[in-house]
Amino acid sequence: MKSLHLVRRFFGALSWRRPRADDLAWVERVLLPGELVLFRRLPNHDQRHLVKVARRVEAELSDTAEAGDPRWLAAALLHDVGKYDARLGPYGRAIATVCGWLGGHDMARAWTQRRGFTRRVGLYLLHGELGADMIRLAGGREEAATWAAAGESPDARARTGIPAVVVAALAAADDA
């Protein structure tokens, strides 16, 4: 259930604890230099979430032909990097999520033309698209940018060209 996942993410975001040192060392081995710069900009709670997602993807793909492919781990580790530009904390993100449910993501683009909190909500709701641009500009893997751009849309995810087993692993890992 997506709402339960978001509630867990909210409460997890209230902790400023850094990711474990062994997880950060693993991230450094997986990501390209430009990708690593993007990952390091994120707050600790986002880094912890992304590591959990990537570790789940790694486990899910372990018995498939896609096992060990760093493209899929990078996609998991970078899919939320676009949230950085919104500069919203846990409470602001919760409000932005509710605004997205009520106003629809179609409003997000219009909101980015405003100022202040409204603009930041719009940026947050467009984080997939913004993250894809950030990944490409940083010299990141195209697969990671494509996955970030697909966002939460099952239809967009299915059209990425990413193997179905990987799409299923990435989606399930993010929603767990």
Cα separation, 17 vs 48, in Å, equals 9
Supply the pLDDT for residue 6. 56
Percent of the chain past pLDDT 90, that is, above it, reads 69
Lowest mean pLDDT among 21-25, 27-31, 105-109, 144-148: 105-109
At 134, the amino acid letter reads M
Averaged pLDDT, 101-129: 90
Q: What angle do CA 7, 127, 32 make, to 5 degrees?
A: 105
Number of domains in the chain: 1
Please determine, for residue 164, whether its predicted confidence score (pLDDT) is greater than 70. Answer: yes
pLDDT value of position 10: 55
Instruction: Identify the pLDDT of residue 1.
Output: 45
Question: Mean pLDDT, to the nearest integer, of 104-133?
Answer: 91
For the entire predicted model, the pTM comes to: 0.88
Task: Identify the pLDDT of residue 9.
Answer: 58
What's the pLDDT tens digit per position in 57-103?
999 999 999 999 999 999 999 999 999 999 998 888 888 988 888 88
More confident: 107 or 23: 23
What's the pLDDT band for 132 if we cut at 50, 70, 90? Answer: very high
Supply the mean pLDDT for the chain: 90
Label residue 175 by pLDDT band (50, 70, 90). confident
CA distance 27 to 31: 6
37 within 8 A of 138, measured Cβ to Cβ: yes
Domain coverage including residue 135: 2-175
What are the helix (H) ranges across the chain? 2-13, 21-30, 33-41, 44-60, 70-78, 90-103, 106-111, 116-125, 127-137, 142-150, 154-158, 164-175
